[in-house]
Amino acid sequence: MASLNTLQRQNISKTWFLLGIFFGFILLVGYALSIVLNAPGIMFAAGVFSMFSSVGSYWFSDKIALSMTRAKPVTRATHSEIYAMVDALAITAGIPTPKVYIIDDPALNAFATGRNPKNSVVAFTQGIVDTLEPKELRGVAAHELAHIVNRDMLIGTIAVILASAVAMVGRMMHMGVGSSMQGDNRGGNPVKIFIVIGLLVIAPLLASLLRFAVSRKREFLADATGAKIAGDTEGLARALERIGGDGRALRHKSEMTAHLFISNPFKSTKFSKFFMTHPPMEERIMALRGAAEHGMGSGQAMRH
């Protein structure tokens, strides 16, 4: 089984792979639009847009994700117990203490974001802070720090921004090309129509693939690594039980940020397991307790 260092390197490689897909897609859209609208300058504009969007998603992805979830920063003075807990866990994990944010929502949930361990954030809903026992909340915090240790929170955060950008480009493309087609009294050139239909199908599909590119295995790995950081499997397992039993959805949620959370913020049961951003909570709990019972490490627990 791959070591933790190997998994971390793989996650960094996936980040650059996502950025490459985004850059290529925007260039493709620019090329197609330059043909459809007979405007060669669009290709250059698309290249500039993709470059700035890619750089921006790397440097500002955490701020954008926090804004989308309406999380607010808290201080050591106002939330000393939470900061003390996160401090202790960060020392154990060997990373700088991340900033702490609170989401004013009664639902039980949490997430981590940031571009690297030195620029990272953990966010908790007020509901999870008020409801869980200290041992359980410690397990949740350790799970979120595990995402930082495993270098996979950047993948999730960048996927949020790129998926949003791709969806936005799709809408702009639809409006721009639609106007062009309306100006053609013969209903449009067949080649142009083919290009338009193809891109209008690809844009939302790529947006979905970017979100699902964040493998659900990252949650199993974060659970196992978090239990190791906390030095306690049962605390996290019990926390997951309580989170899974909470039927409340987040008030301010987005499909673009759903995979960042420790639990699906939509609490939906309408979709199959294949389309869910999170593995079933029962499987995660079984994997945790099974790993503890057999003395497995974080890498072995990923097999479940």
Contact of 79 with 100, CB cutoff 8 Å: yes
Supply φ then ψ for residue 100, to 5 degrees. Answer: -115, 130
> Token pair 């389309």 is at which residue?
275
**Residue 95 token pair:** 């990373």
> Alpha-carbon dihedral of residues 34, 35, 39, 40, nearest 10 degrees?
60
> Cα separations (Å) of 278 from 71, 290, 299, 303?
21, 19, 19, 16
Q: Report how far Cα 16 is from the mean position of its chain's Cα atoms.
A: 15
First-to-final CA distance of the chain: 12
> Cα separations (Å) of 238 from 54, 139, 295?
39, 9, 18
Strand arrangement, sheet containing 110-116: 72-73, 99-103, 119-125, 110-116
**Residue 125 token pair:** 């809903």
User: From CA 287, how far away is CA 302, in angstroms rounded?
Assistant: 8
Q: Kindly name the residue from 136, 144, 241, 282 that is annotated as catalytic.
A: 144
Supply φ then ψ for residue 275, to 5 degrees. Answer: -95, 0
Would residue 144 show up in a list of annotated catalytic residues for this protein?
Answer: yes
* Residue numbers annotated as active site: 144
